[in-house]
């Protein structure tokens, strides 16, 4: 590598780099195109109707553990048993909600984790749960999932028909219970220990519509790939 490359050899180098960049652009453009032509479902039907309004300030106040008493008082003031809270508010300032009786609405998701005298369940109150429904069928990005861990004692969970998962928006439930920021039964986790549950919106199946263009593209590329690999084996053997 101590001799400088001769002029006529530089062309293949340049071409290789151009080809690489071109390939990248093709892959980028190709996947974008496939996404654009993806069949989508209508999300208008996914909005959960008649939810109790959130009884707190629109933007959660973030606090620290050394928050001053005045702020704490201000945050706790509107909290009654019927005040609907959101998980975003809780995580922004757990200490304000600790030990208070609250109302919480969200989609039951993942698994009903059965223990001896009750059930743990994750209840999400993000937009995928309450407004636009599961992704895959739409391209309405609304950030991460967010919700609370809920403890349902004494058979409360039996009212739940189904939990959310791929292609399914699970039961939307209204819960009432005590919020704990240091739940001893959860090794110190933030949980809602519910004692009242009602299903306010049933499970909705939202299967992702089949994407025929993508399937055809996959088939074509697969054939090309097998061909390329077969050709490559032959070239190598020579």
Nearer to another protein, 81 or 219 (CB): 219
Instruction: List the interface residues with another protein, window 56-95 (CB under 8 A).
Output: 62-66, 91-95
Residues written for the chain: 238
Give yes or no for residue 52 binding another protein (CB under 8 A). Answer: no
Yes or no: say if 206 and 124 are a contact pair by the CB < 8 Å rule: no
> Which residues, 6+ apart, have CB-to-CB distance to 193 below 8 Å?
150, 151, 153, 177, 178, 179, 180, 183
Integer angstrom CA distances of residue 65 from 31, 92, 188, 229: 46, 11, 15, 60
Among residues 72, 79, 135, 162, the one that binds another protein under rule CB under 8 A:
135
From the CB of residue 192, how many other CB atoms can be counted at a distance below 10 Å? 26
Instruction: List the interface residues with another protein, window 31-50 (CB under 8 A).
Output: 31-32, 34-35, 38
CB of 186 to another protein, least distance (A): 5
Instruction: List the interface residues with another protein, window 163-182 (CB under 8 A).
Output: 164-169, 181-182
Give yes or no for residue 134 binding another protein (CB under 8 A). Answer: yes
User: Hey, what are 222's tokens?
Assistant: 């697969």
Instruction: List the interface residues with another protein, window 183-212 (CB under 8 A).
Output: 184, 186-190, 208, 210-211
């Amino acid at each position: 590598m101590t001799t400088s490359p001769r002029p006529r050899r530089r062309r293949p180098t340049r071409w290789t780099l151009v080809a690489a960049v071109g390939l990248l652009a093709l892959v980028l453009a190709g996947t974008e195109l496939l996404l654009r032509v993806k069949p989508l479902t209508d999300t208008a039907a996914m909005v959960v109707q008649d939810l109790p309004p959130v009884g707190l300030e629109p933007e959660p106040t973030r606090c620290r553990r050394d928050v001053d008493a005045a702020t704490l008082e201000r945050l706790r003031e509107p909290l009654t048993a019927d005040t609907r809270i959101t998980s975003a508010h809780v995580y922004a300032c757990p200490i304000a909600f600790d030990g208070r009786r609250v109302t919480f609405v969200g989609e039951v998701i993942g698994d009903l984790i059965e223990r001896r005298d009750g059930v743990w369940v994750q209840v999400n109150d993000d937009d995928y749960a309450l407004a636009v429904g599961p992704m895959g069928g739409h391209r309405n990005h609304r950030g991460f999932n967010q919700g609370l861990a809920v403890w349902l004692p004494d058979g409360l969970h039996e009212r739940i028909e189904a939990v959310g998962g791929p292609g399914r928006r699970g039961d939307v439930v209204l819960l009432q219970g005590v919020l704990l920021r240091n739940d001893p039964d959860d090794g110190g986790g933030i949980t809602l220990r519910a004692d009242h549950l009602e299903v306010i919106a049933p499970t909705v199946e939202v299967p992702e519509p089949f994407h025929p263009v993508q399937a055809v593209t996959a088939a074509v590329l697969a054939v090309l790939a097998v061909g390329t690999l077969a050709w490559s084996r032959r070239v190598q053997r020579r």
